Amino acid sequence: MGDVDLRRYSVPSTMAGDEGIRLLDQLSKEELIRIIIDDAKNWLAHDGLWFQAVEKRYGIEVAIDADTEAWRYFTVIEATRIMERLGLAPGGGIPALVECLNHRLYARLNLQDVIEQSDSRVVFRMLDCRVQSARRRKGLPDFPCKVVGLVEYAEFARTVDPRIATRCLACPPDAHPDAFWCAWEFAVDG
């Protein structure tokens, strides 16, 4: 992997006085990694609890509609922040998308991979999804996340490079093989 340029990850001077940020300076790499993973788990727990609260009050259809709209905006924010952190400009094509997908909050919690990668196309698969695996352990059916995923992945990819088109290959409620929960094809148009 080589040496990491830590200047890319330095704390902005506007945050240097924040006690919560200063505390992070004292921690080891292992402690920081544990915090990042725990923060990702907390984010996902909040996302799930928010969804369940809306579902309980208004029903699954309304909850999915609200979730889709939330993801429409969050995924753009997430992609933009990842690109800024990595020093990537929009328009980086498939290589930039693959790099950005590796830095999503989900990448800290789920097992994912890419196959069939070229400069113009890639297939991204979620091999183990924390949400779906938890549902399976509880004996619940797959969560029908395709409608949300269509917006989430398309907007994320379009933020990285407006030329990228997104196509769902499989995602619940659609049937999928046991090897993965969902698969998405990204291709550069033009």
- For the chain, the structural domain boundaries read 13-188
DSSP letters of 15-42? Answer: TTT-HHHHHHHTS-HHHHHHHHHHHHHH
Q: Which residues pair with 172 in a beta bridge?
A: none
- Per-residue pLDDT for 36 more than 70? yes
Task: Identify the CATH class of 13-188.
Answer: alpha beta
86-95 pLDDT tens trace: 999 999 999 9
- pLDDT interval class at 6 (50, 70, 90): very low
Q: Which two tokens stand for residue 185?
A: 């094809």
Residue-level pLDDT at 18: 76
DSSP helix/strand/coil, 184: strand
43-85 pLDDT tens trace: 999 998 999 899 999 999 999 999 999 999 999 999 999 999 9
123-162 pLDDT tens trace: 999 999 998 888 889 888 888 999 999 999 999 999 999 9
- Give the CA distances from residue 141 to residues 113, 160, 170, 173, in Å, rounded to whole numbers and listed in that order: 24, 33, 16, 9
Pick the residue with more confidence: 20 or 78? 78
108-120 pLDDT tens trace: 999 999 999 899 9
Q: Which two tokens stand for residue 29?
A: 């790499």
Planar angle of CA 84, 85, 91, nearest 5 degrees:
40
Residue-level pLDDT at 23: 83
